[in-house]
Chains A and B, each alone.
Chain A
């Protein structure tokens, strides 16, 4: 045992050295970029006044905020003397996003900036050749847009070796939180929750004392596997951290650990820890702690809002203001606090720096330079504040340098759709101190250990039939298993029998691609 631990330590140090070497390389690149930058700024500073006015068509997901026009007017007047850009923002409802943007691109519609994402169709669109590689444009016109994002963010989000889209994100590690009913905890005189055991103790207390409140709620619909009760624990347990694979997204069946570039498969060998999570979930379910309707509830937020659950899993740091407001209205006196066991220790969390949202410049755009200039302009703190939060005093209030308070609902929050970055983004001042600390900590790329697979992206084409079949099978069992709804042994046996073959093929292909990725990196 001790011997093996020693080995891991050695392995970890070697890794650290290797990654440190990589890190210093990219820092050099960053430095040269920034020295180029000042030179370029001088040039653009003199020539910018002669630019003709043009209109940029920008496609973003979501609903148009009521005060959008006021914000655009203000932005245009600020840009008039410099980059002289008018803005035409086209909002597309989330439900139509995939289809509409695809058709827009395919029909060659004149769009200058467009939202895309790996979970949408970024890879397909890039390989179909719809997007302009951004390196040259960034060098010439986008130094500020580059500066507000970390090098890791760019390195990790390349496609086929090029930057085809500007990564949007305000943190390098996705937040995970248990939303806990603070009022109940205080009612029973329990101290703040520090560990998973505390959490479960609290849940049993709720079970004993409250007839109308269900202690625990997680997600059970099969589109949301990462937030099921048992699987959620993987985000908060360490030594080693289990990380989900690039091939199966939210599923834990294929996973990485130890940052050793190997793909592990639960069907080959059950990870004892994962099995203990499943067993634990089963116990909680049969004891009546996990919501009996966990698999049937489609809208988890509304159940939390109703005040009828004591603990729920949630995919961000902090209590979202929409939920705390709704809860206060439905159940007077009820209050939520955010509890997370994600460690805030330098290097403790491994990440591949992948971002979920991107902004791309289509090849057909006639104003590619201006589009990049606009992105660059939007990276400026004051301009970012305007575009992200609206008019100061009307839509939001600044709290210090890095927090804000929203006023009214005239300008709903959507920077993640077009300009998000970790540097100029402000945090919701309504968050608790602890959550804010987590956000701030994870904004700093150097606080996280880069995954050895940073920059790797999986090409599903060779095993696409297996993946689609595997997905359909997994949906039948995964969430009942991890929420404890069905008997673990029987469910696992059935799941394994039906899915093992396909999972194996996917694992082999993923491993093959990882090996060749690592070989090419050397």
Chain B
């Protein structure tokens, strides 16, 4: 009864939420039935229900080879780097920005940091190539000018997790820092005022007031990132690394690997099987990390 009363009482609020809910139902919940395809020999003509049930056959191609644990490791490792460095540096940026007194300078700095977010991966990939290539790359020219040997970065897989992380941070730190800035702006000025009266330094204010008060936002963003930790950012990694084979050992993620394995076959069932693997593993990790977050702070967890 309480449920209906609640809805009746706040009906206008719920009507407001309706479009969002519908969006979620149509684009997030209904497609879940599509996971069925992973267990079927899917043919368009037969439809999802009509296609033949083949159990776990579609999963074989992925788990039969020796590469699946490598690409799974790469996916988690790269995404881990992205989450930690991305959020960490965004947090620093947000704190620095919030400490800037000159409003005009603050606005300009903020815009400049935010700008890379709008640059498409294709352009970023060309910039990375212009920077790192062997023939006339900026980095190698600088090395040569300083009497050092140029290196063929595109043959050195070991540096690429770092390259990708730098690119990721450069592109997304501004975006996340704005979310943090909003959270910082929401902190009541009275805290700082009384801290100053008690003689706290700027640094102490940051450590003891700002950080604890935006901790929840940080945890929520981290959790959202962790939920997608099994999805390699295909646009980014395929955009930048492309089909450059020597870099596969450290940059090949689940998405790019399956793309290469399946691109000539166009097999719905097998690609669904990979997505299913990513979703299930993602679900498991987010449940674990959410439980951890709950331990630290009951309010910080997602659910």
In the complex, A128 Cα to B245 Cα: how many Å? 35
Is A148 part of the contact surface with B, judged by Cβ < 8 Å?
Answer: no
Q: A296 touching B133 by the CB < 8 A rule?
A: yes
Shortest distance in angstroms between B135's beta carbon and chain A's nearest beta carbon? 6
Encode contact with A along B107-131: 1 for CB under 8 Å, 0 otherwise: 0000000000000000001000100
Q: Out of B46, B135, B267, which one reaches A308, CB within 8 Å? A: B135
Q: B242 touching A221 by the CB < 8 A rule?
A: yes
Encode contact with B along A466-479: 1 for CB under 8 Å, 0 otherwise: 01110111011111
Is B31 part of the contact surface with A, judged by Cβ < 8 Å?
Answer: no
In the complex, A486 Cα to B155 Cα: how many Å? 9
Contacts of A460 in B (CB 8 A): 265
Q: B246 touching A485 by the CB < 8 A rule?
A: yes
Q: B245 touching A480 by the CB < 8 A rule?
A: yes
In the complex, A102 Cα to B266 Cα: how many Å? 11
**Closest chain B residue to A98, Cβ basis:** B266
Shortest distance in angstroms between A281's beta carbon and chain B's nearest beta carbon? 15
Q: B134 touching A220 by the CB < 8 A rule?
A: no
Shortest distance in angstroms between B296's beta carbon and chain A's nearest beta carbon? 40
Shortest distance in angstroms between B208's beta carbon and chain A's nearest beta carbon? 49
Is A45 part of the contact surface with B, judged by Cβ < 8 Å?
Answer: no
Contacts of B155 in A (CB 8 A): 295, 485
Q: A105 touching B265 by the CB < 8 A rule?
A: no
Contacts of B13 in A (CB 8 A): none
Q: A475 touching B260 by the CB < 8 A rule?
A: yes
Is B10 part of the contact surface with A, judged by Cβ < 8 Å?
Answer: no
In the complex, A129 Cα to B265 Cα: how many Å? 18
Q: A469 touching B243 by the CB < 8 A rule?
A: no
Report the interface size class on chain A: 35 or more
Is A106 part of the contact surface with B, judged by Cβ < 8 Å?
Answer: yes
In the complex, A293 Cα to B155 Cα: how many Å? 9
Contacts of A295 in B (CB 8 A): 154-155, 244-246
In this complex, the member of B45, B46, B257 whose beta carbon has the largest number of chain A beta carbons within 10 angstroms is B45
The answer to whether A469 and B242 touch (CB under 8 A), given A106-B45, A292-B134, A485-B155, is no
Is A223 part of the contact surface with B, judged by Cβ < 8 Å?
Answer: yes
Contacts of B125 in A (CB 8 A): 298
Shortest distance in angstroms between A58's beta carbon and chain B's nearest beta carbon? 21
Encode contact with A along B139-154: 1 for CB under 8 Å, 0 otherwise: 0000000000000101
In the complex, A308 Cα to B154 Cα: how many Å? 19
**Closest chain B residue to A460, Cβ basis:** B265
Give the 6 A-B CB pairs with smallest separation, nearest first.
A128-B45, A221-B243, A296-B154, A292-B134, A222-B243, A472-B261
Cβ contacts A to B, 29 pairs, < 8 Å: A102-B44, A119-B264, A121-B266, A124-B43, A221-B243, A222-B243, A222-B260, A223-B263, A249-B264, A295-B155, A295-B245, A296-B129, A296-B242, A296-B244, A308-B135, A460-B265, A464-B265, A464-B267, A464-B270, A468-B61, A472-B65, A472-B260, A473-B65, A473-B67, A475-B243, A475-B248, A475-B260, A479-B245, A480-B246
Show the binding face of B for A, using Cβ within 8 Å. Answer: 43-46, 60-61, 64-67, 125, 129, 133-135, 152, 154-155, 242-246, 248, 257, 260-267, 270
Show the binding face of A for B, using Cβ within 8 Å. Answer: 98, 102, 105-106, 119, 121, 124, 128-130, 214, 220-223, 249, 291-293, 295-298, 308, 460, 464-465, 467-469, 471-473, 475-480, 485-486, 498
